[in-house]
A = this chain, B = another copy of it.
Amino acid sequence: MNKDIGPIETKSFTFAESSHGFKLESGRTLGPITLAYETYGRLNEDKSNAILVMHAFSGNAHVAGPVIGDQDPAWWDFMVGPGKALDTAKYFIICINVIGGCKGSTGPSSINPKTGKPYGTDFPIITIEDMVRTQKVLIDHLGIKKLHGVVGGSMGGMLALQWVACYPDSVECVIPIAATLKHSPQQIAFNEVGRQAIMADSLWSNGNYYGGDSPEKGLAVARMVGHITYMSNDSMEEKFSRRLTDDHTGFKFSADFEVEGYLQYRGQTFVKRFDANTYLYITKAMDYFDLSDGQWIPAGGLPGVRFLVIAFKSDWLYPSVQSQEMVRQLQMRQIDATYCEIDAGYGHDSFLIESEAEKQSHLIKHFLAKRK
């Protein structure tokens, strides 16, 4: 079987073009709304083979395939394709950039129709629920009544949970990976440091930097702190240990150690492909997300829904105890929930790394194939 998926174009779908716009959880309206999305494989005749893959914080619609045009590199290429876990020979895979994003969907860098200029911080605050409810408009537009699956890691896992919370009759398989029902204060704290780093940059200018220099230094610092939390102590040890950079002078404030050079590089490349205001809006959405009271589960439970909850042992940012709590709540309500903690060493980002996530692929493939 050819495992190559071939080039996939990013499409876009626009709605809420009337003056009323789309009503957000905050009460504010937003419109028009454009969603950038990609699809892989073919929707079958009864439209029962669709799986929605949801990206993490800094992700985009380009989940798999080679890069065409101004696409970012595919972020889950090893998971999506013919014969892979999200098998494009069997399933119709959809991936949508969230609202608030900066990868083709409407966000703070989009033009505000009222002013003809980018929204900046006039963009309304959005929530994980807003992201899901706008995705549902596109899923409806595609004529899909029920998704065979909703799958995602990190924020993508929160989106998967929010999907079944909003539309319990429209989802069969829910696969939250390295996710949580709510952010802990430590998770909020790390996000807040990132936000403060951006807002401390004088170029941020209260979010109105479009058309001029953007707050790249602050955004790079935010990404650096994020990146530390995505890795494990052990994987950093393995990757860098205390090795010095080739050009270290021994004594200065540039990168003496490889780990410093790597973080600086990750920060500098990130600012070229990400918008600082999107960083603020999306981290806030994650921090506000809270399904921990279980109220979202209907009184009659979720009879048609199955959960596969995956955590990674070395993930200290979204520790496995958060996934266990998710499973505990589901099982207490007699909901079909399977839990698997994978002994991968790369930390939170394990779900994105093929060598770490072999077991993840296997689990997801068989979980999706299982028939009721």
Residues of chain A whose beta carbon lies under 8 Å from any beta carbon of chain B: 26, 121, 125, 182-186, 188-190, 192-193, 195-197, 199-202, 217-218, 220-221, 224-225, 228, 231, 233, 236-237, 239-242, 250-253, 255-260, 263-264, 267, 280, 284, 287-288, 290, 316, 319
Known: A185-B240, A199-B253, A316-B316. A193 touches B225 (CB 8 A): yes
Residues of B within 8 A of A196 (CB): 220-221, 224, 263-264, 267
28 contacts between A and B (CB under 8 A): A26-B250, A26-B251, A125-B251, A184-B233, A184-B236, A185-B236, A185-B241, A188-B242, A189-B224, A192-B259, A192-B264, A193-B221, A193-B263, A195-B253, A196-B220, A197-B200, A197-B221, A199-B253, A200-B201, A200-B217, A200-B220, A200-B221, A221-B221, A233-B319, A251-B284, A253-B284, A256-B288, A316-B316
- Sorted nearest first, the 9 A-B pairs with minimum C-beta distance are A200-B217, A125-B251, A185-B259, A185-B236, A185-B240, A192-B260, A186-B233, A189-B228, A193-B225
- Closest chain B residue to A25 by CB distance? B251
CA–CA, A255 and B287, complex, Å: 12
- What is the distance, in angstroms, from A178's C-beta to the closest C-beta of chain B? 16
- What is the distance, in angstroms, from A343's C-beta to the closest C-beta of chain B? 18
The answer to whether A193 touches B242 (Cβ under 8 A) is: no
The answer to whether A184 touches B228 (Cβ under 8 A) is: no
